[in-house]
Amino acid sequence: MLIATKVGMVRPAPNMWAPHGHPVYLRASVEASLRRLDMDRLDLCYLHRIDPEVPLADQLGTLQAMQDEGKIGHIGLSKVTPESIRLASKYSRVAAVQNVLNLIDRYDPALELCRDLGVPYVPYRPLDAGNLAHEERMATALHWLLQLGGHVAPIPSTSNPKHLHQIVSVTANGWL
């Protein structure tokens, strides 16, 4: 099992999200996640969004420093373009990219770049937030993602143990 989480966004109001990549905030967010999860190390910590108001070197430098301290295992990026991935790779090893990809949002140029770079690509919202979640559509949606390459690892979410079982069996079949 690998525990992954994200830091670097705030919710100023219900249904509103904004990037917040100030080094002090990123550090506090990692520490808060460690406390909440009761862990010494986050296996994979994504920068949720690159904050355009803060130098990228400072944002990744903070996560890198926490990696050196043993508090983060690997650093990932989320919702990024190929250009951002290339730029970020100059500051830090990018261990995973988490971007939206599903049967509705079908195109992301970062998918191919990740394949070329050997970076795991993690499609978020793989069931289009539940719109693709019913019966065969769920299997079709996950199989479509899995056949895009061995570097692709979708992260469907559920709060329902029966759905979890369905997801696991569909995903296991997709890998065979």
Ligand X SMILES: NC(=O)c1ccc[n+]([C@@H]2O[C@H](COP(=O)([O-])OP(=O)(O)OC[C@H]3O[C@@H](n4cnc5c(N)ncnc54)[C@H](OP(=O)(O)O)[C@@H]3O)[C@@H](O)[C@H]2O)c1
CB of 110 to ligand X, least distance (A): 13
From residue 59, how far is each of 51, 54, 89, 133, 157 by CA, in Å?
8, 7, 13, 35, 28
Instruction: Identify which range of 30-38, 68-76, 108-116, 159-167 contacts ligand X by CB under 6 A.
Output: 159-167
Residue (113 or 122) nearer to ligand X, CB:
122
State the minimum distance, in angstroms, from the CB of residue 94 to ligand X: 14
Given 59, 67, 166, 171, the residue binding ligand X (CB under 6 A): 166
Q: Does 159 bind ligand X (CB under 6 A)?
A: yes
Query: What is the length of the chain?
Result: 176
Closest CA to 76 of 4, 140, 174: 4
Q: What is the CA radius of gyration of the chain?
A: 17
Q: What's the first-to-final CA gap in the chain, in angstroms?
A: 20
Q: Phi, psi at residue 3, to the nearest 5°?
A: -95, 120
> Using CB under 6 A as the criterion, what x/- string covers residues 95-134 for binding ligand X?
---x-------------------------xxxxxxx--xx
Residues binding ligand X (CB under 6 A): 78-79, 98, 124-130, 133-134, 138, 155-160, 163, 166-167
